[in-house]
Amino acid sequence: MKIGFVVNPVAGMGGSVGLKGTDGDDILKEAIARGAMKQSPKRTNRALRGLNGMVDFQFMTCSGEMGKDELDRAGIRSVVVYEPPAETSRRDTITAVRAFVKDGADIVIFAGGDGTARDVLEAVDRKLPVIGIPTGVKMHSAVFLNSPEDLTQLLEGFSRTGATRDAEVMDIDETSFRNGVLKAKLFGVAKVPDDRAHLQAGKAEYHSGGADEEAREIGQYVVDDMKDGVAYVIGPGSTTARIGEVLGQAKALLGVDVFLNRKVVLHDASEEDLLGFLRHHGSSKIVVTPIGAQGFFFGRGNQPISASVIRVVGWENVVVLATPTKLKDTPVLRVDTGDSELDESLRGRTKVVTGYRRRKLVPVL
């Protein structure tokens, strides 16, 4: 199998510093100014580890950090078919993928987020199936692996069957996203390996009256259960937004806030903000909800609540919320913090708050 492999080296840099993406040169510069570190290399390496020594796969890629560096680091031989300039852009991703198609690739694997998925789809034009290694901030598209480590099993299965299915690629307006408004539209439909066990579901939105009432009930319960002196790190999502509504406090729909004594003390916080506050405060809890239908309550859209933040607070102080309506379509939950050891410790089963004094035991993968 000939694999075209491309990495967006700056994908995900805006997540931990609260920028919710890195689309655009100005935003990338701002992320760097805030101290953002590159996320793609580490997460890409996790995906590639299991492929070392597999002779059935032949990789074609880009020079440098757009591909070859990570393949070399994983001990995987490759052929360079495109050499990007020192400063890369989305046009280099598109050019590289078109070179993969021209040179006879059977599948394209890319590392990035929704913006990269959109660029790959523009270049591949459904001629080939694609797989996304999740390294971005916005990953609403249904082309991404559940976790980087799923790549090996997915490729092994696809090499046997060759079966594909359609998956939506979403286009997210980052400017609106940073202002707390989620504007997602269907950019196009890609082909992906037909493997629902290792690829995430597409995003789903819940607007029914029943789901809204369920979310309000959960929000009221969380507020009634709040303890004075305890800091509550509250992640993004429509369910957690109800907590702010009940308290009459502004809650960032798509950001992370910290509440103390029922007042907002940090709004739309970055990872650095959270760590600086929590390391000096003491008693704290994390309150999160899976966003959409993918089941991820860590690692998708709430990157400021990083592995480091979770370790400071402690897994025993994490509260997961989900309406019964959402759990009906999301029977299992998932984690992808970027820290494999932490992810493994979080897996198993956890109690999820589903209503006022109501909980349900849900598997975590």
Specify the range with the lowest mean pLDDT, choosing from 15-24, 222-231, 325-334.
15-24
Q: Are 347 and 362 in contact (CB under 8 A)?
A: no
Which pLDDT belongs to residue 293? 66
28: phi then psi, degrees, rounded to nearest 5: -60, -45
Segment 78-94 shows an average pLDDT of: 94
Closest CA to 321 of 218, 232, 173, 250: 218
- Residue 108: strand, helix, or coil: strand
| CA gap 146, 63 in Å, rounded | 27
Q: What percent of the chain has pLDDT over 70?
A: 85
**Per-range mean pLDDT, top range of 56-70, 246-260, 326-340:** 56-70
Of the candidates 258, 259, 255, 277, the residue with the CA atom closest to the CA atom of residue 268: 255
Residue 43, SS3? helix
How would residue 56 be classed by pLDDT, with cut points 50, 70 and 90? confident
Q: Are 62 and 92 in contact (CB under 8 A)?
A: yes
Mean pLDDT computed over every residue of the chain: 87
C-alpha span between 235 and 247 (Å, rounded):
16
Contact between 305 and 311 under an 8 Å Cβ cutoff? The reply is: no
Residue 331 pLDDT? 83
- What pLDDT score does 174 carry? 55
Across the range 95-112, mean pLDDT stands at: 97
How many percent of the chain have pLDDT more than 90? Answer: 63
* pLDDT for position 22: 55
Terminal-to-terminal C-alpha distance of the chain: 29
- The residue extents of the domains of the chain are 2-193, 209-364
pLDDT for residue 207: 44
CA distance 37 to 303: 13
Which of 36-40, 137-141, 212-216 reaches the highest mean pLDDT? 212-216
Mean pLDDT over 225-235 rounds to 97
Comparing 32 with 240, the larger pLDDT belongs to 240
The model scores a pTM over 0.85: no
